[in-house]
């Protein structure tokens, strides 16, 4: 009975903590949703927690008018940058995990250093390089920045995954006469789907939520949705809380949908390379 009571108490505490954590996460979402349907008179900090007396959709229309084009440009950014950085990281990870050469560990360590350099530290040299090369402000330059800055994390994920691929599979391809490129494209790449899911979700989210690179390398006319959302929230003397909240929900919807649809594959992909064998 004592054990049963102790177990029941522990279970109750765990559920209480989970419910509390869920409430902490959902409270901001609740505020976002109800404020997005409030009129200007009701969208006031003093009435944050109250439901709207009159539900309106004008905020959503204003937010969509302001963010429709930037959302399209953001898709033009995140899709190629995610795919390119994933492919480069996959090739790097394969070479560094299976084709040993002098200095391979040093090169891998140097690549990983890129993960620990904050965005703020590279902005000034990045801007000087962009100006020196004559690159225009816009999505193509932003794609290049995200591809380069995404290589360290994508290389790490793929290298760890390829370390778990049986060596016998690689040796069998060599026996059949396949070289490095043939082994990669015909044998390794088809079994890399779990890691590609992880990397694509990671890079998609990182590029979609980026603000600092976008601030330096683009503007509100040529940049992604984060810049336009910032302009929507602070572009007038009196803050338009309703449109800002609706805009925040619109801007976050794609990443939310990606995680809802692919979340279980994301966790599975992360775990797939955790055990070697």
| CA-to-CA dists, residue 264 to 89, 260, 275, 276, angstroms | 22, 8, 18, 21
pLDDT tens digits for range 156-172: 999 988 888 888 888 88
56-70, 166-180, 206-220, 231-245: segment of lowest average pLDDT: 231-245
**What tokens does 250 get?**
């619109």
Chain-wide mean pLDDT for the chain? 86
* Helix (DSSP H) and strand (DSSP E) numbers for the chain: 11, 0
Contacts 24+ apart (CB under 8 A), 135-141: 137/217, 137/218, 137/219, 137/222, 138/217, 138/218, 138/222, 138/223, 139/73, 139/76, 139/77, 139/218, 139/222, 139/223, 139/224, 141/217, 141/218
Q: Hey, what's the torsion of the CAs at 18, 19, 20, 25, to 10 degrees?
A: 90
Interatomic CA distance for residues 73 and 57, integer angstroms: 24
146-155, 231-240, 244-253: segment of lowest average pLDDT: 231-240
| pLDDT number for residue 68 | 94
| pLDDT number for residue 43 | 77
Stretch 266-273: mean pLDDT: 62
| pLDDT number for residue 4 | 62
Q: At what angle do helices 58-98 and 104-113 cross, to 10 degrees?
A: 160
Segment (H or E) for 268: helix 241-272
Q: Which of 15-24, 47-56, 256-265 has the highest mean predicted lDDT (pLDDT)?
A: 15-24
pLDDT tens digits for range 88-110: 999 999 988 887 778 888 888 88
Would the pLDDT of 176 be above 50?
Answer: yes
Residue 18's pLDDT band, with cuts at 50, 70 and 90, is very high
- What percent of the chain is modeled with pLDDT above 90? 42
* Pair 277, 169: CB distance under 8 Å: no
Interatomic CA distance for residues 254 and 33, integer angstroms: 16
Q: What is the DSSP letter of 137?
A: S
- First vs last Cα of the chain: how many Å apart? 43
HSE toward the beta carbon, residue 155, CA cutoff 13 A: 22
Q: Which domains does the chain have, with CATH numbers?
A: 1-55 (no CATH), 60-273 (1.10.3720.10)
Q: What is the distance of C-alpha 238 from the center of its chain?
A: 32
| CA-to-CA dists, residue 248 to 2, 60, 141, 228, 244, angstroms | 50, 10, 25, 11, 6
| pLDDT number for residue 206 | 92
This prediction has a pTM of 0.85
Would the pLDDT of 144 be above 60?
Answer: yes
């Amino acid at each position: 009975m004592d054990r049963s009571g102790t177990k029941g108490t522990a279970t109750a505490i765990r559920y209480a903590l989970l419910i509390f954590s869920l409430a902490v996460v959902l409270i901001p979402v609740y505020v976002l949703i109800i404020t997005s349907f409030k009129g200007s008179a009701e969208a006031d900090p003093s009435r944050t927690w109250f439901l709207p007396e009159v539900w309106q959709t004008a905020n959503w229309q204003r937010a969509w008018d302001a963010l429709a084009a930037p959302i399209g440009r953001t898709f033009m950014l995140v899709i190629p940058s995610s795919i390119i950085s994933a492919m480069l990281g996959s090739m790097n990870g394969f070479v560094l995990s299976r084709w040993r050469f002098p200095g391979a560990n040093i090169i891998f360590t140097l690549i990983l250093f890129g993960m620990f350099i904050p965005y703020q530290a590279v902005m000034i040299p990045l801007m000087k390089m962009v100006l020196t090369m004559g690159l225009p402000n816009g999505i193509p330059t932003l794609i290049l920045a995200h591809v380069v800055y995404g290589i360290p994390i994508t290389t790490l994920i793929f290298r760890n995954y390829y370390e778990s691929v049986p060596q016998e599979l690689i040796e069998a391809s060599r026996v059949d006469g396949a070289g490095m490129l043939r082994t990669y494209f015909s044998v390794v790449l088809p079994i890399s789907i779990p890691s590609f899911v992880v990397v694509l979700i990671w890079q998609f989210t990182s590029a979609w939520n980026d603000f600092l690179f976008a601030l330096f390398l683009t503007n509100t006319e040529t940049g992604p949705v984060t810049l336009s959302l910032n302009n929507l929230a602070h572009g007038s003397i009196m803050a338009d809380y309703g449109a800002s909240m609706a805009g925040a929900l619109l801007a976050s919807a794609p990443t939310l949908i990606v995680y809802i649809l692919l979340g279980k594959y994301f966790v599975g992909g992360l775990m797939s390379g955790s055990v070697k064998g």
